[in-house]
């Protein structure tokens, strides 16, 4: 599947440029939509093939999923066009519809049901709607963009080209429609974009695979006893692996988008340099952090501060941080481990929030700024943040049975 994903994404710009030459009357959005839907079909078929054992059966299942996916998208487009600008519950319905689909697909055993109805065993964890996690956030944000007048309501072709935009479909970044519509750099930046695709592929296909040799799956889950020192090695390696895998994919996605003239938001900014968990989230999966800030944190904290009063604003902020990170946790996957992952990060950001308030109060503005610039403090902060993120990703990488088996193997 990762290989198919990379091939399909790298072929996407070739399709777009070829189609623009051969089909000059088809608008660019049409070319993007067609190419994206064809790519989605190939990826879904590839995901089904190991379960069905035959290409024809996999293609039939992929067709059914694609039709359902398109149907849901068209319903949302209708809601968006009719209700997004009307305010009240109608805007809310348009905003919530993609999220509701995401929740249903993620939390109900639809994949297993679908596969058993189709006559196949297994497949409970298959993505019936590939990339729905990212699409749900992109499309719900589109409702806000339309409501705020940032962008006009898109036509159906432009909407489909945005919703199913192949490079960012399965792993993000969560691009905005405003970015999507902003003209790219054209041919002048083509070399830079191509280089970025290449280097993204190197990170995703080579460096990540290499580092994965020392992560939980590569090092730990082999059924053998392990020394305690292997645990921090696996934790740190997993953090590096995840960065190379995710940022490598995003580099490919952003580079490919650039090659077809679409601007895409950045998703990473050297997360290993973060000096606390709050800063980490400003450097890691930036588009998710921005979405959560705009869609959950800001409105929720404004509402809560109004309810509890300005004197308790700091505590209200802390409560909102916890809510945001619990949502971030469950968005990443189904299982208690993801909730615990969100909790661990929420607690760290809340601790940082209170510690910052404490330092500001204790040191005063000038000394607080000097404290922040102290190189020793900086290195300790960066090191401890790296350690904390590495340790917390233990909850992200392993479900509860895997955690048990890891601890059982430690000597």
Partner 1 sequence: MPEPESNPWSRSRAAGVCSLLSACLLLPVLVAWGAKPGREGMYRTLPVNMGPYVAIERQIYQEQGDIDVLFLGDSFLWQAVDIPRVRDALTGDLGRPARVFSFSTNWAGLDRQYVLLRDLLARRRVGMVVLDLPAPDIPMEDKPHNLSYYWLRMGDDPELFRGLSSKDRATVYSVMVLGAPRFLLARLRSSPIDPKQADPALLSLVENRLGYLGAPFQEEPVRESPGTVIRFSPKSQGDFRFTGPALGPLQRHFAVLIAGLLGRYGVRGVILHVPRYSERHGTMVDERECWPKALDGRLELMGIPPARLFQGLSEDQIQHHFYNEHFNANGKRLFTQFLLPALRTLHAETPPESLPLAGNPADVGLP
Helix (H) or strand (E) holding 16: helix 2-22
The only residue of 64, 70, 214, 359 in contact with partner 1, by rule CB under 8 A: 214
Q: State how far the Cα of 350 lies from the Cα of 352, in Å rounded to an integer.
A: 5
Question: CB-wise, 226 or 315, nearer to partner 1?
Answer: 226
Q: Work out whether 287 is an interface residue with partner 1 (CB under 8 A).
A: yes
Stretch that binds partner 1, among 23-31, 75-83, 157-165, 289-297 (CB under 8 A): 289-297
* Cβ at position 343, least distance to partner 1 in Å: 26
> Alpha-carbon distance 404 to 286, whole Å?
32
88-107 and 132-147 helices cross at what angle (nearest 10)? 180
Rounded Cα distance between 159 and 153, Å, is 9
147 binds partner 1 (CB under 8 A): no
The interface region with partner 1, picked from 58-66, 71-79, 290-298, 309-317 by CB under 8 A, is: 290-298
Hey, which residues between 222 and 281 contact partner 1 (CB under 8 A)? 222-227, 229-230, 233, 251, 258, 263-266, 269
Q: Report how far residue 306's alpha carbon sits from residue 316's, in angstroms, rounded to the nearest whole number.
A: 10
Take residue 1 and report the two structure tokens written for it.
């599947």
Q: Does 298 bind partner 1 (CB under 8 A)?
A: no
The residue from 71, 109, 155, 206 that contacts partner 1 (CB under 8 A) is 206
User: Torsions phi, psi of 284, nearest 5?
Assistant: -120, 130
Radius of gyration of the chain (CA): 23
Residue 44, token pair as written in the block: 């879904």
Q: Which of 210, 273, 334, 380 binds partner 1 (CB under 8 A)?
A: 210
Cβ-based neighbours of 214, under 8 Å, separated by 6 or more: 233, 234, 237
Residue 71: count other Cβ atoms within 10 Å of its Cβ. 10
Site for partner 1 contains 199 (CB under 8 A): yes
Is 251 within 8 Å of 203 (Cβ atoms)? yes
Binding mask 69-88 for partner 1 (x = CB under 8 A): --------------------
CA dist list (Å): 405 to 59, 249, 337: 37, 30, 15
Q: Which of 71, 82, 108, 213 binds partner 1 (CB under 8 A)?
A: 213
Q: What is the dihedral of CA 351, 354, 359, 364, to 10 degrees?
A: 160
Q: Decide: is 382 part of the binding site for partner 1 (CB under 8 A).
A: no
Q: Is 288 in the site for partner 1 (CB under 8 A)?
A: no
Write down the least CB distance from residue 193 to partner 1, Å: 8
Task: Tell me: does residue 282 bind partner 1 (CB under 8 A).
Answer: no
What residues make contact with partner 1 under the rule CB under 8 A?
A: 141, 176, 178-179, 182, 185, 189, 192-193, 195-196, 199, 202-203, 206-207, 209-211, 213-214, 218-219, 221-227, 229-230, 233, 251, 258, 263-266, 269, 287, 290-291, 294, 411
């Amino acid at each position: 599947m990762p290989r198919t994903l990379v091939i399909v994404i790298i072929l996407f710009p070739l399709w777009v440029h070829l189609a623009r030459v051969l089909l000059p009357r088809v608008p660019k959005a049409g070319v993007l939509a067609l190419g994206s839907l064809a790519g989605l079909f190939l990826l879904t078929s590839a995901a089904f093939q190991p379960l069905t054992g035959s290409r024809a059966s996999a293609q039939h299942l992929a067709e059914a999923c694609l039709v359902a996916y398109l149907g849901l998208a068209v319903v949302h487009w209708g809601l968006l066009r009719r209700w997004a600008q009307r305010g009240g519950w109608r805007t809310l319905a348009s905003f919530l519809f993609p999220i509701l689909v995401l929740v249903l697909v993620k939390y109900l055993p639809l994949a297993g049901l679908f596969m058993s109805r189709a006559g196949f065993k297994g497949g409970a964890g298959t993505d019936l709607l590939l990339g729905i996690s990212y699409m749900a956030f992109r499309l719900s944000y589109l409702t806000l963009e339309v409501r705020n007048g940032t962008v006009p309501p898109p036509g159906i072709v432009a909407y489909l080209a945005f919703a199913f935009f192949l490079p960012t479909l399965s792993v993000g970044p969560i691009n905005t429609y405003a970015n999507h519509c902003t003209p790219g750099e054209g041919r002048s930046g083509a070399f830079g974009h191509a280089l970025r695709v290449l280097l993204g592929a190197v990170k995703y296909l080579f460096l990540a695979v290499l580092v994965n040799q020392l992560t939980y799956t590569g090092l730990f889950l082999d059924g053998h006893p392990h020394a305690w020192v292997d645990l921090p090695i696996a934790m740190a390696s997993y953090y590096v692996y995840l960065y190379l895998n995710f940022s490598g994919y995003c580099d490919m996605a952003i580079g490919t988008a650039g090659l077809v003239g679409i601007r895409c938001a950045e998703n990473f900014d050297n997360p290993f340099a973060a000096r606390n968990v709050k800063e980490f989230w400003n450097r890691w999966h930036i588009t998710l952090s921005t979405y959560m800030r705009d869609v959950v944190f800001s409105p929720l904290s404004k509402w809560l501060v109004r309810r509890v009063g300005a004197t308790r604003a700091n505590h209200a902020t802390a409560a909102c941080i916890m809510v945001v990170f619990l949502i971030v946790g469950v968005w990443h996957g189904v299982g208690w481990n993801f909730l615990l992952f969100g909790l661990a990060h929420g607690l760290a950001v809340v601790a940082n929030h209170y510690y910052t308030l404490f330092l500001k109060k204790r040191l005063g503005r000038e000394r607080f700024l000097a404290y922040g610039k102290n190189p020793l403090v900086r290195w300790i902060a960066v090191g401890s943040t790296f350690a904390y993120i590495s340790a917390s990703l233990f909850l992200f990488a392993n479900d509860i049975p895997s955690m048990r088996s890891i601890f059982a193997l430690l000597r």
